[in-house]
């Protein structure tokens, strides 16, 4: 099989409202699409969601890098996934989000060629997946309204964005717990917003409020601080921004810095490296979550396939598209409330509405 053409799309999706985390605010999902076409009539789709404040990529920088990446891959065998991705890394190290879009499209092609749903191609089975829903930083009163809405909709876990200051963050968690009762687990995410002292104080204050874990309480490179927080915290600690690749995973395990891993394709560079991280986590008895940036249901579907395929993945944060004002995806994972069902067709089982992509800026590269 040979790649005959690769198309790149500027994939802009409006949000219902701006969303805020400790690192900043976004008002739309400025993503990118990669479409790989082959000489056997198979087409694969991939999506990258460059959350600039975390990965250091933007849509513009990603598309610029993607042009060179596309030129490198046209004419190659798409079933040689590792070889294709190694070629991209050798030529242009970094750019994990951009690379993840190519990775996703390659896996879509390979699973279709094998006539398997992606979760089966990855060696897994269809499992029940239940996502949480995220409450973004706002006043405690407004965040309580969101929590009550999630509970009324049948939510089985709420994720609260924190990372501003000790007093306000404690008030947010206390107010939400009081409003929704004791039964629904609360998950927290500081997105690097605290120092060690603040993180320790907040987590001790909320430790008896049925908080399932706290993501990334301190700066991503402060592994020593992360370990200190974990040692003092009654709440389990999950690595997010400190975990990009397998090298990071080994360091976190060696330093005994966290209890859990949050794996996102836009950080890891795609499914191939995510599988390597999961393997390290399995060896270290560290449970994982598959999380998201601001992907549409196309990218979310790929993440759900990966989550279903690996039993060490026990937490699911697959709600990014809840914030989107439109859904341009055809097929893909479906939601009954917060319960996710994967498609059983070969590959991802998801594409983008042709009418939508017809209005997206596009550039195509052909093999000679």
Catalytic residues: 161, 264
Contact residues for 331 (Cβ-Cβ < 8 A; gap 6+): 301, 343, 345, 349, 350, 351
Per the annotation, does 169 bind a ligand? Answer: no
Contact residues for 22 (Cβ-Cβ < 8 A; gap 6+): 137, 161, 162, 163, 164, 190, 191, 192, 193
Question: Angle at Cα 192 formed by Cα 186 and Cα 198, nearest 5°?
Answer: 75
Which residues share a beta bridge with 33?
Answer: 9, 47
Rounded Cα distance between 310 and 114, Å, is 19
Kindly list the strands in the beta sheet with 334-336, ordered across the sheet, starting from the edge strand earlier in the chain. Answer: 129-130, 339-341, 334-336
Per the annotation, does 103 bind a ligand? Answer: no
CB atoms within 10 A of CB 33: 26
Q: With 0-12 CB in 10 A as exposed, 13-18 as middle and 19+ as buried, what is 238? A: buried
Residue at token pair 């549409």 = 296
Rounded Cα distance between 287 and 312, Å, is 6
Beta pairing class for 329-331 and 334-336: unpaired
Per the annotation, does 215 bind a ligand? Answer: yes
Query: Binding site for Mg(2+), residues?
Result: 189, 215, 240
């Amino acid at each position: 099989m040979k790649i005959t053409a690769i198309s790149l799309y500027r994939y802009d999706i409006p949000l219902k409202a701006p969303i805020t985390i400790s690192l900043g605010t976004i008002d739309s999902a400025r993503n990118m699409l990669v479409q790989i076409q082959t000489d056997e009539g198979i087409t694969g789709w991939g999506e990258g969601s460059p959350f600039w404040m975390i990965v250091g990529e933007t849509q513009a920088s990603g598309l610029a890098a993607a042009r060179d990446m596309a030129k490198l891959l046209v004419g190659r065998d798409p079933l040689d996934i590792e070889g294709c991705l190694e070629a991209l890394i050798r030529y242009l190290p970094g750019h994990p989000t951009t690379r993840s879009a190519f990775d996703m499209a390659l896996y879509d092609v390979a699973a279709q060629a094998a006539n398997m749903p992606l979760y089966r191609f990855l060696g897994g089975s269809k499992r029940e997946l239940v996502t949480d829903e995220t409450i973004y930083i706002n006043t405690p009163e407004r965040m309580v309204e969101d929590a009550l809405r999630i509970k009324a909709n049948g939510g089985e876990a709420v994720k609260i964005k924190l990372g501003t200051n000790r007093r306000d963050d404690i008030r947010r968690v206390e107010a939400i717990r009081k409003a929704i009762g004791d039964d629904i687990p609360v998950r927290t995410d500081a997105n690097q917003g605290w120092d060690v002292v603040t993180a320790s104080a907040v987590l001790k204050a909320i430790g008896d409020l049925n908080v399932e874990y706290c993501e990334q309480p301190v700066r991503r490179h402060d592994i020593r601080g992360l370990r200190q927080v974990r040692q003092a915290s009654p709440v389990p600690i999950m690595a997010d921004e400190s975990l990009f690749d397998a090298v990071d995973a080994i360091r976190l395990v060696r330093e005994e810095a966290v209890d859990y891993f949050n794996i996102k394709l836009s950080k890891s560079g795609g499914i191939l490296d995510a599988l390597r991280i999961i393997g390290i986590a399995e060896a270290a008895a560290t449970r994982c979550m598959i999380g998201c940036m601001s992907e549409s249901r196309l990218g979310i579907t790929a993440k759900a396939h990966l989550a279903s395929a690996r039993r060490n993945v026990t937490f699911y944060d697959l709600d990014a598209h809840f914030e989107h004002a439109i859904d341009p995806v055809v097929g893909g994972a479906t939601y009954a409330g917060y319960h996710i069902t994967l498609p059983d067709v070969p590959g991802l089982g998801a594409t983008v509405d042709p009418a939508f992509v017809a209005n997206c800026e596009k550039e195509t590269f052909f093999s000679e």
